[in-house]
């Protein structure tokens, strides 16, 4: 005999669940939970439930073509019973809670989504004695409060700032004059869950393979990369159209905007027509809102004297002829400031020991293509600081933004050959700034992105570079005899090894007044 599950008595406890999951600012009527954390559910059956014989089978699904092997479907029993296949990913479970009254058909359940469940919209259904019923539609977000989640952030004051705070500051201006701009992130405004999850469904990879795309949403690395591409309009369906000119017809100048919600709501209500117009701080502000809503800790970062290296050689090249005129226009440039975001997450794809975990640069401003799309990151800030430019994603590009040398070349009028005139190692990457935790003060992040100028770069046995600063006096030079103009002189140079290791394959260069470039004098 089929037994009904009374829909009138399915209680999702949305108010208490959302409060415990730190989502009550989003809604108290729609169930919004965080993965890796249990939530409460009460069912009323139309007949008694016999714990010794009866079995309630529950199923959760998300996305198109849900599959246990992809982690987008999970079946679990009450009382606890394993129903999943051996190859299943993201296994859910449920337990009977105190307060249940099986003899009257009232079951109070504790449902636990795993910490690696894909984020998104879910449907929960229950099957009892051949009768199946959809119980609820609800949303699952990342969980910075769960130590099992890749976005776990240990300090509560930082979670309040980088996940829950709807107000912030974006720094603009120049290196000598840094101007704070207040920005309303508004990540918990009405409809933001639907807006942000719809954004994920409109990305190119979803259209190519929706099942795999939804499955990959278990990873904040993947999700942040998708969001980076979707914020700009350079690829189809993006939220904001960039404009660095003076004609803003058909929209508003980037300086018009002071918050993210108006932009995201306009995009959503217009059936995903890109909002006109934005520049780097607008792209970053909107992305920060989306990341915080999805549960990835995020902050906006401004880099002053920010390099744009177009040919991936880690330098900004300037070319001059013999008369001092610019020989040709370089595609490389240095912007007075540039703004991106950092997202907090683990990076087990780079190292199992957690070396590259923590803040990752993600840049939604369309500059260069990355794997075919206008997106950038996540790039480990640790990798950027250490100059480990062989690591994904887009570490070389961000390294150049904060640490490129500005190189000046003399181009021969006769044969077009180039001679290096000067290399400026200090201009790029100054006063890298973000808002402080719990206050409106500015925090300087420059030392987290780059070592002090005058450091040393070493290569290990596997060809990986590392960088450190030495305050030692490494060279002592003693000139023999007197010095005369246009006559050779002899000098003795004593070099002190700055590290407690044997150095090999070393070279020493000399540069100074009267020399066009540094010249190698010994090896």
**Residue 187 and residue 295: Cα distance in Å, rounded?**
10
- 45 CB neighbour count, 10 Å cutoff: 22
The residue extents of the domains of the chain are 7-141, 159-466, 470-522
Residue 152 in tokens: 């776990």
Q: What is the pTM of this model?
A: 0.85
Nearest to 275 by CA among 300, 290, 256: 256
Peptide bond into 36 cis (omega under 30): no
**Residue 322 and residue 304: Cα distance in Å, rounded?**
31
**Residue 457 and residue 467: Cα distance in Å, rounded?**
4
Nearest to 235 by CA among 280, 261, 272: 272
Residues composing the chain = 523
Contact at 8 Å (CB) between 156 and 164?
no
The DSSP output letter for 161 is: I
Average pLDDT per block of 10 residues along the chain, 523 residues long: 58 97 97 98 90 90 97 91 84 92 94 98 91 93 99 99 99 89 98 98 96 99 98 90 96 98 98 97 99 99 92 82 65 90 99 98 93 92 96 95 88 79 85 98 97 60 46 61 69 72 71 50 56
The DSSP output letter for 255 is: G
**Residue 342 and residue 222: Cα distance in Å, rounded?**
14
The DSSP output letter for 8 is: G
The whole-angstrom distance between residue 195's C-alpha and the CA centroid of its chain comes to 19
Stated as kind and residue range, the H or E segment containing 384 is helix 381-386
Which architecture characterizes domain 7-141 according to CATH?
Sandwich (2.60)
Peptide bond into 378 cis (omega under 30): yes
**Residue 130 and residue 56: Cα distance in Å, rounded?**
10
The residues assigned a catalytic role are 280, 338, 363
Burial group, residue 23, by CB count within 10 angstroms (0-12, 13-18, 19+): buried
Stated as kind and residue range, the H or E segment containing 434 is strand 430-435
- The angle formed by the CA atoms of residues 427, 431 and 436, to the nearest 5 degrees, is 170
Exposure string over 434-446, b if 16+ CB within 10 A, otherwise e: bbebeeeebeebe
Residue 22 in tokens: 């730190």
The pLDDT of residue 53: 87
The pLDDT of residue 476: 66
Residue 11, SS3 per DSSP: strand
Which architecture characterizes domain 159-466 according to CATH?
Alpha-Beta Complex (3.90)
- The angle formed by the CA atoms of residues 217, 271 and 278, to the nearest 5 degrees, is 80
Residue 342 in tokens: 């950092």
The whole-angstrom distance between residue 26's C-alpha and the CA centroid of its chain comes to 22
Exposure string over 52-82, b if 16+ CB within 10 A, otherwise e: eebebebbbbbbeebbbebbbbbbbebeeee
The pLDDT of residue 462: 46
């Amino acid at each position: 005999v089929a037994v009904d599950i009374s829909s009138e008595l399915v209680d999702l406890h949305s108010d208490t669940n959302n409060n415990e999951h730190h989502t009550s600012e989003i809604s108290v009527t729609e169930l919004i939970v965080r993965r890796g954390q249990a939530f409460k559910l009460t069912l009323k059956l139309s007949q008694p439930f016999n714990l010794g014989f009866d079995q309630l089978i529950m199923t959760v699904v998300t996305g198109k073509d849900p599959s246990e092997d992809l982690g987008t479907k999970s079946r679990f029993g009450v009382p606890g019973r394993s129903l999943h296949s051996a190859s299943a990913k993201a296994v859910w479970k449920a337990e009977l809670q105190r307060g249940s009254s099986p003899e009257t058909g009232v079951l109070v359940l504790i449902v636990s989504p795993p910490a690696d469940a894909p984020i998104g919209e879910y449907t929960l259904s229950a099957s009892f004695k051949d009768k199946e019923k959809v119980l609820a539609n609800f949303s699952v977000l990342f969980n910075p409060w769960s130590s099992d989640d890749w976005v776990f952030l240990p300090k509560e004051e930082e979670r309040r700032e980088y996940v829950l705070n709807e107000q912030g500051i974006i720094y603009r201006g120049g290196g000598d004059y840094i101007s704070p701009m207040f920005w309303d992130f508004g990540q918990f405004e009405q409809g933001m869950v639907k807006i942000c999850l719809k954004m994920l469904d409109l990305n190119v990879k979803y259209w190519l393979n929706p099942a795999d795309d939804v499955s990959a949403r278990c990873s904040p690395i993947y999700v942040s990369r998708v969001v980076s591409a979707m914020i700009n309009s350079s690829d189809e369906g993006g939220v904001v159209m960039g404009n660095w000119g003076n004609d803003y017809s058909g929209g508003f100048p980037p300086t018009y905007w002071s918050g993210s919600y108006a932009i995201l709501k306009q995009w959503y209500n217009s059936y995903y027509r890109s909002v006109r117009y934005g520049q780097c701080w607008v792209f970053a502000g909107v992305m920060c809102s989306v990341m915080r809503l999805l549960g990835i800790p995020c902050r906006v970062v401004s880099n002053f004297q920010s390099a744009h290296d177009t040919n991936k050689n880690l330098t900004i090249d300037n070319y001059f002829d013999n008369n001092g005129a610019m020989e040709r226009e370089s595609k490389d440039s240095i912007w007075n400031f540039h703004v991106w975001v950092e997202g907090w997450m683990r990076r087990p794809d780079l190292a199992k020991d957690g070396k590259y975990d923590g803040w990752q640069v993600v840049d939604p401003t369309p500059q260069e293509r990355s794997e075919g799309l206008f997106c950038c990151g996540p790039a480990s800030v640790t990798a950027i600081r250490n100059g480990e430019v062989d690591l994904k994603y887009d570490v070389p590009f961000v390294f150049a933004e904060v640490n490129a040398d500005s190189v000046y070349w003399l181009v021969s009028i006769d044969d077009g050959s180039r001679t290096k005139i000067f290399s400026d190692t200090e201009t790029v990457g100054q006063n890298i700034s973000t808002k402080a935790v719990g206050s409106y003060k500015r925090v300087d992040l420059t030392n987290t992105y780059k070592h002090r100028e005058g450091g040393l770069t070493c290569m290990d046995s596997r060809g990986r570079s590392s960088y450190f600063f030495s305050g030692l006096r490494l060279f002592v030079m003693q000139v023999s005899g007197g010095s005369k103009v246009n006559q050779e002189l002899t000098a003795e140079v004593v070099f002190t090894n700055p590290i407690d290791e044997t150095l090999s394959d070393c070279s020493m260069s000399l540069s100074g007044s009267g020399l066009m470039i540094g010249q190698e004098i010994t090896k």
